Structure 1
Amino acid sequence: MDLFSLSWTALRSAVADVPDEDFDRPSGCTGWLVRDLVCHLVIDAQDVLITLVTPAASAPTVDAVTYWRLVGPPTGEDPLDALVPRLAAAYGGPELLRFHLDDVGGAAGRAAVLADPAARVGTRDEVLTAGDYLSAYVLEWTLHHLDLIAHLPSTAGPPAETLAASRAALEAIAGAPFPAAFSDKDALLIGTGRRPATTAERTALGDLAARLPLVLG
């Protein structure tokens, strides 16, 4: 729960510090500008609010690791992926988009603090505890924080604690550790295909290299 708040607060603070002119620069999400990524974060925040007030009575079907599904690389044909750039453009500029993220994102952050970690919630036709759901989102926020700063070197990056937790989560999803020589940031970027591995890195990855990237959905 603390890592959720830490990662989400850091990401929202980083967005708040992005100059208006940088909203039209590319993000680390293929095909999305920074403004598109921020719009996606608004939708994510709405999803958090919806899920935390969607109680479930049945036993959990997934946890913080198995919540994530391995999907193929984006094709541009997913309706939501196609909607996001159009929706972001409709904001007309960074000011309203930034305000909406602060407004809805702040509510999501408060809801997370108030949530009972043991309560069962439903989302994506699955059931899991609120604690596991929020833990899963640490990986989401951290990866998108890296996406935000991909071409904005002066913007603050994710906290070390959330980078480490996200690496551990990705290793659990992969079922294997990344080489100890990899920094947490590099493990996340290479592991999810956000940057290609060098020849030396592929050698260090061994058999795991053939299973990358891990595209999460």
Structure 2
Amino acid sequence: MELFARSWTALRTAVADLPDQDFERPSGCTGWLVRDLVCHLIIDAQDVLITLVTPTEKEPNRDAVTYWKVVEPPTGDDPLDALIVRLAAAYEQPELLKFHLDDVGAAAGRAAELANPDLRVSTQDYVLTVGDYLGAYVMEWTLHHLDLIVDLPNAPEPPAETLARAREMLERITGAPFPESWSDKNVLLIGTGRRIPTEAEQAELGELTKKLPFVLG
């Protein structure tokens, strides 16, 4: 839960510090500008709030790692993706996106801080403890932080400890250990298809290259 707070605070701070013109830059999510990604983060924050007030008595069937699964790469035909772009454009001014993310995002952060980590909650037909649910979101926030700054070389990166945790989760989700010498950031970027490995990196990966990318959903 502590890593949830660190990763979420770092991501929200990075968005808050962006000048308006950077909202028109490409993000690491194919087909999305930074403004579209920020709009998606608002919806993510709403999902966190909804889930934290959706308790259940059922037994957990997922944890922070098994919440995620490897899925087929997106085709660009998802109607929700198109909706995000339209919603983001409707804000018109980056300041409005910033305000909404700060407002809803701060509420999600406070709700997470106050939540009982042992409480069971339900989302997407999954049942998790609050601690595991928030732990799963360390992956979401860390990857989207990398998406946010892909075209912003001077922007702050995710905290080192959340990069390390996200790497650990990716390797456990996929059952695919990456070279120990690689940085956590490069493992996440290459492992999830956000960056194409160089020839030298492909040589280090060996047969694992054929399995890339690992798209999480």
Q: Same fold (TM over 0.5)?
A: yes
Corresponding residue for residue 72 of structure 1: 72
The alignment's TM-score, normalised by the length of structure 2, stands at 0.98
Corresponding residue for residue 189 of structure 1: 189
1:53-202 matches, cutoff 5 A: 53-202=53-202
Q: Supply the RMSD in Å over aligned alpha carbons.
A: 0.8
Helix, strand or coil for the counterpart of 1:157? coil
Residues 193-212 of structure 1: per-residue CA shift (max 9 Å, x gap) = 00011111112112322221
Give the Cα–Cα distance (whole angstroms) in 2 for the partners of residues 163 and 146 of structure 1. Answer: 10
Helix, strand or coil for the counterpart of 2:71? coil
Give the Cα–Cα distance (whole angstroms) in 1 for the partners of residues 216 and 176 of structure 2. Answer: 16
By how many angstroms is 1:83 displaced? 0.4
Give the Cα–Cα distance (whole angstroms) in 1 for the partners of residues 82 and 143 of structure 2. Answer: 20
Count residues in correspondence: 217
Give the Cα–Cα distance (whole angstroms) in 2 for the partners of residues 131 and 198 of structure 1. Answer: 37
By how many angstroms is 1:176 displaced? 2.5
Write the letter of the residue equivalent to 1:180: E
Give the Cα–Cα distance (whole angstroms) in 1 for the partners of residues 56 and 187 of structure 2. Answer: 35
Identity of matched residues, %: 71
The alignment's TM-score, normalised by the length of structure 1, stands at 0.98
Unaligned runs of 5+ in 2: none
Q: Is the CA contact 2:8–2:109 (under 8 Å) kept in the aligned structure 1?
A: yes
By how many angstroms is 1:5 displaced? 0.2
Helix, strand or coil for the counterpart of 1:132? helix
Give the Cα–Cα distance (whole angstroms) in 2 for the partners of residues 41 and 212 of structure 1. Answer: 26
Give the Cα–Cα distance (whole angstroms) in 2 for the partners of residues 139 and 209 of structure 1. Answer: 22
Runs of 4 or more above 4 Å deviation: none
Q: Is the CA contact 2:55–2:119 (under 8 Å) kept in the aligned structure 1?
A: yes
Matched, 1:35 2:35: yes
Write the letter of the residue equivalent to 2:201: E
Write the letter of the residue equivalent to 1:51: T
Q: Is the CA contact 2:70–2:174 (under 8 Å) kept in the aligned structure 1?
A: no
Residues 160-215 of structure 1: per-residue CA shift (max 9 Å, x gap) = 01000100010111112110111000000000000011111112112322221110
Unaligned runs of 5+ in 1: none
Give the Cα–Cα distance (whole angstroms) in 2 for the partners of residues 93 and 28 of structure 1. Answer: 21
Give the Cα–Cα distance (whole angstroms) in 2 for the partners of residues 107 and 78 of structure 1. Answer: 28
By how many angstroms is 1:77 displaced? 1.3
Corresponding residue for residue 209 of structure 1: 209
Helix, strand or coil for the counterpart of 2:171? helix
Helix, strand or coil for the counterpart of 1:117? coil
